[in-house]
Amino acid sequence: MRAPQEPATTQGQDQEQATPCTRIVPVVLAGGSGTRLWPMSREQFPKQLIGVVGSDTLLQATVHRLDGFAPEWQVAKDPIVVCGEEHRFVIVEQLHACGLDARLVVEPARRDTAPALTLAAAVACAEGEDAILVVMPSDHAIADTPALQQALASAARHAQRGAIVTLGVPPRSPETGFGYIRIGEAIDDGAHRIDGFVEKPAPELATQYVAQGGYWWNSGIFVMRASVWLDALRALQPDMHAACLASFVEGKLDGGTFRPGKDAFTNTPADSIDYAVMERLSKSSGWAPEGVVIALDAGWSDLGSWDAVWAALDKDEDGNVGRGRVEFEGAVATYAHSEGRLVACVGTSNLVVVETADAVLVADRSKVQDVKGLVTRIKAQRAPEADAHRKVQRPWGFYDSIDQGERFQVKRIVVTPGARLSLQLHHHRAEHWTVVRGTALVTRGEETFLLSENESTYIPLGVRHRLENPGKMPLEIIEVQSGAYLGEDDIVRFDDTYGRCG
């Protein structure tokens, strides 16, 4: 990835005469923090980072969707992934696990999908070529990847000539949780001009849309040339364009990670791709690209609820889906997910049961959309179950909060070989460390020493300290914290390998 500079665009050109481009760059939007799949999905570990429909996480499945794409197209091996700082390290770890080194764009604040795509388009243009972007949310499920690739190939041909293309899903039922695209006249290759967008409809209107035809679900997948998106945004959302480009030019490159300028990006209006551009294409005056929609019949689901997860998975003869340690006895149309303990469903009907280490959800499948409101209440109570799992991933490994009480907390900490925590201190707690596996290199004040298995040390309140794993096997310690306040924000960092100081 090159150093930031003002990306060139093609405003004023005849898009029909633009030089054909066969290079495709996947853009994965991974900045969401969905709550409808709670308790699996949390604020700090959203649904794109979990595996609910297969062995891969939703993010990993997304970045592999263009594998084996039609040979006449040159698909970049390193996708552009746009995410937030709080999820950056887990995303990098998951991408490395599936053999990818993505170009990461780390948003300094959440501003919805239109600014996120604008940063990705600026990165693509700054690389020196006007590639075709295939923009995919990271939290959807696709059952038929070849069918998706066929639709994307058709979309790329229209994007070559300057159109902005989206994929629409012919509805299977009158869903009220999706936006709809009203399709216009047919062009060719199964494509239609976009006649308009419709908000999530009431049940009666959704039934009417399905009955009369001409309305497709909005998949949130887009295809366009990078310069075409930037020019469209300049014409239709000049304030957003100016703020995003200023943020890009002020940004800094750190290896394969690009960090846009914080102040300029914070001033960027928040809006979605649909609202900012797509809904305005047919209504704008002056220059604007053509909006095109292509049918996607590939078993698409946005996995917006536990009921959608149940619908996307194979079922037994009674309509049940079980994941993990699950047993059914006389159950019908039940979804059960266990992260550890045995979950037994006896005589249940149309239920969702999800078990994690620190929370259990039991819900009627027809009421799962209300989970979002439940999580809002949990957040208002400042309960930790809304934000993070008991087991929390960190760039150096993970910790698991295994017990807590008044003025104490016990954690199991696992540090990967060669990794180290930040040099830090705490104002409100002291810590006892006991090594149960591996070897620890400990910095405590001015001294540095090694601890082996069954050895321990004490870190007084207010003393600088650091934990490192110098060995070739995972380091595992038990940490006992004691003090008046045990929150994770009682950390003052002085040095950090992962850029978290300040």
Boundaries of domain holding 435: 391-495
Report residue 154 as tokens: 């058709």
DSSP assignment string, 49-61 = GS-SSSSS-HHHH
Is-contact 107 116, C-beta < 8 A? yes
The CATH number of whichever domain residue 182 belongs to comes to 3.90.550.10
Domain boundary among the residues 301, 329, 359 is at 301
pLDDT in tens, 287-323: 568 899 999 999 999 998 999 999 999 999 999 999 9
> Are 270 and 203 members of one domain?
yes
Domain boundary among the residues 282, 301, 320 is at 301
Peptide bond into 289 cis (omega under 30): no
> Are 228 and 125 members of one domain?
yes
> Are 264 and 141 members of one domain?
yes
The Cα 468–Cα 444 span in angstroms is 12
Is-contact 442 479, C-beta < 8 A? no
The Cα 394–Cα 416 span in angstroms is 10
Interstrand relation of 300-301 and 141-142 (parallel, antiparallel or unpaired): antiparallel
> Are 362 and 472 members of one domain?
no
Number of domain units in the chain: 3
Q: Is residue 441, in this structure, part of any structural domain at all?
A: yes
Domain boundary among the residues 301, 322, 353 is at 301
pLDDT in tens, 458-492: 999 999 999 999 999 999 999 999 999 998 889 99
pLDDT in tens, 85-144: 888 889 988 998 888 888 899 999 999 999 999 999 999 988 777 899 999 999 999 999
Rounded mean pLDDT, 52-57 = 89
Report residue 38 as tokens: 């709670």
Is-contact 105 82, C-beta < 8 A? yes
The Cα 73–Cα 70 span in angstroms is 6
Q: The pTM is what?
A: 0.87
> Are 320 and 265 members of one domain?
no
Is-contact 289 228, C-beta < 8 A? yes
> Are 112 and 192 members of one domain?
yes
Q: Is residue 94, in this structure, part of any structural domain at all?
A: yes
